[in-house]
Amino acid sequence: GQAQGPCSICMEPLDTHRGGSACAHAFCGACLEGHVRAKLESGRAGAVGCLDAACAGTLDPELCRAALPRDLFERWCAALCESMFAGARRTYCPFPDCSEMMVADGDDDTVTQSECQVCRRLFCAQCRVPWHAGADCAAYRHRDTAREDAMLLEMAAGRRWRRCSRCQFFVEKTDGCLHITCRLIDGG
């Protein structure tokens, strides 16, 4: 709510804004903006307190909306929403153009197929990747590991690495003869 009078912080006689319904303190837009911005940047935007140090009231985002730049107001609201789920198990949509936060229901770790509430695309809540249709999580991880193994083998062949016949570690020849001493036997 707007009012006329001096700001309780800088004492400038400007249009002031009441920031909370539980207190009567009023502040200019610049002081209010600076306070909310500082709380956001410090990571303590859950419940932004009144600017008056002696007041135990908190600011109401809707009462402050007219005094704040739109991007700051939206960041504050997003931080408030996030703080409401501080102790909850959260998951995020794995699609880079969405990344919406969602709260996982209960303690059930068996939920896999989920739908993002914003972009409506399916994803696996266990693997945290787009939905892997036709494969359970174990098969998907195995297939993903197999793809990574194939990439490693291709890189090793390109760099002419060899494998130790005993421990199967890759070895790169930098100089010397072709003899390989196993690092498990050698201890190093």
Phi, psi of 103 (to 5 degrees): -95, 130
User: Is there a domain that residue 105 lies in?
Assistant: no
pTM of the full predicted structure? 0.49
Strand partners, 102: 91
pLDDT of residue 139: 81
User: Is there a domain that residue 68 lies in?
Assistant: yes
How many residues are listed for the chain in this entry? 188
Distance of CA 70 to the CA centre of its chain: 22
User: Is there a domain that residue 25 lies in?
Assistant: yes
pLDDT of residue 34: 92
Q: Which domain holds residue 69?
A: 17-85
pLDDT of residue 188: 46
State which H helix or E strand residue 53 sits in.
none
User: Is there a domain that residue 49 lies in?
Assistant: yes
User: Is there a domain that residue 1 lies in?
Assistant: no
Cβ atoms of residues 60 and 68 within 8 Å: no
Cβ atoms of residues 112 and 125 within 8 Å: yes
State which H helix or E strand residue 78 sits in.
helix 70-84
User: Is there a domain that residue 27 lies in?
Assistant: yes
Cβ atoms of residues 33 and 57 within 8 Å: no
List Cα–Cα distances, 120 to 33, 59, 86, 113, 115, in angstroms.
Answer: 35, 34, 24, 12, 6
Closest residue by Cα to residue 165 from 181, 178, 188: 181
Distance between CA atoms of residues 166 and 172, nearest Å: 16
> How many domains does the chain fold into?
1
The residue type of 66 is A
User: Is there a domain that residue 97 lies in?
Assistant: no
Model confidence over 73-102: pLDDT tens digits?
Answer: 999 888 888 787 777 777 888 888 988 888
Instruction: Tell me the mean pLDDT per 10 residues along the chain, length 188.
Output: 72 76 82 90 80 85 88 90 76 86 67 86 87 82 76 88 80 80 62
Q: Which two three-digit tokens encode residue 21?
A: 């319904």
User: Is there a domain that residue 39 lies in?
Assistant: yes
Distance between CA atoms of residues 144 and 65, nearest Å: 47
